[in-house]
Amino acid sequence: MSANTFPVESLRDRKRRQTRERIVETAFALFMERGFDAVTVDEIAEQAEIGRTTFFRYFGDKQEVVFSTEDDFLHALTAAMGDAPAEPLRDLAQVLAASRRLLLAICTEAARNPGHYAVYHRLVRQHPELEDRHTRKTRHYADLLENHLTGHGTPPATAVLAAQLTLACYQAAWRLGGHDATAVLREASDAFDLLLGATAV
């Protein structure tokens, strides 16, 4: 394999990544210590040792910091979609099996940083405005799944049903697993096992 196969992170990109990570880590520590509502952008910037202007180069507001891993989840989902088999998905059990794999890819990504997920879960459960955004985000993932399935030959009615059942499995895992990302991953897998067992009857 060529040494040039994988892109090398430039010094500028590394510094940008490190600054972004420092903002997120600082903000989450402050949110847990004092509560989301009590923390200001100025305080996050000061604790992260950056200017207010620098903060807004990375995030539009402090809500965006809470959802800072959204791009990672989307990348994980997109990668899993890219690895999907080329054959058409038509049977509901087959479609659910494919949907299970995609949801577990997102849950696995969340479990890579369990501490971050634990804080995220607590913040979302404690603040209605964050919970509303979380709900809209998960619905967006369901829409992406529906489009993915129809693009692979799934009949529209089956694609909609599978996407909504997948969303239900995630919501069940979110409630049962709580702030433990590993438990959420396990509960999501178990929920799909129940579904696939029911469709096999």
What's the chain look like in SS3? CCCCCCCCCCHHHHHHHHHHHHHHHHHHHHHHHHCCCCCCHHHHHHHCCCCHHHHHHHCCCHHHHHCCCHHHHHHHHHHHHHCCCCCCCCCHHHHHHHHHHHHHHHHHHHHCCHHHHHHHHHHHHHCHHHHHHHHHHHHHHHHHHHHHHHHCCCCHHHHHHHHHHHHHHHHHHHHHHCCCHHHHHHHHHHHHHHHHHHHHC
What average pLDDT does the chain have?
91
Considering the domain boundaries, does residue 1 fall inside one?
A: no
Q: Is the backbone of residue 62 left (phi > 0), alpha (psi -120 to 50) or beta?
A: alpha
The answer to whether 115 and 21 are in contact (CB under 8 A) is no
Q: What is the mean pLDDT of residues 53-58?
A: 96
User: How many domains does the chain fold into?
Assistant: 2
Between these two residues, 199 and 74, which has the higher pLDDT value?
Answer: 74
Q: Is pLDDT at 143 greater than 60 in this prediction? A: yes
Confidence at residue 89, expressed as pLDDT on a 0 to 100 scale: 82
Asked if residue 120 and residue 44 are part of one domain, the reply reads no
Looking at the domain assignment, is residue 5 inside a domain? no
pLDDT digits (tens, 9 = 90+) for 9-44: 787 888 998 999 999 999 999 998 998 999 999 999
User: Is 31 in contact with 118 (CB distance < 8 Å)?
Assistant: no
Q: What residue numbers bound the domain in which 41 lies?
A: 11-62
Q: What is the pLDDT of residue 2?
A: 44
Whether 81 is in a domain gets the answer yes
In this predicted structure, what is the pLDDT of residue 62?
Answer: 95
* Tokens read off for 9: 């992170």
Round to whole Å and give the CA distance between 141 and 162: 12
pLDDT band at 178 (very low <50, low <70, confident <90, very high): very high
Task: Please tell me the least confidently modeled range out of 2-6, 26-30, 84-88, 103-107.
Answer: 2-6
Contacts of residue 50, Cβ cutoff 8 Å, sequence gap at least 6: 19, 22, 23
What tokens were used for 7? 């892109």
| Together in a domain, 179 and 133 | yes
Examine the domain organization and report whether 137 and 38 are in the same domain.
Answer: no
User: Does 123 reside within a domain?
Assistant: yes
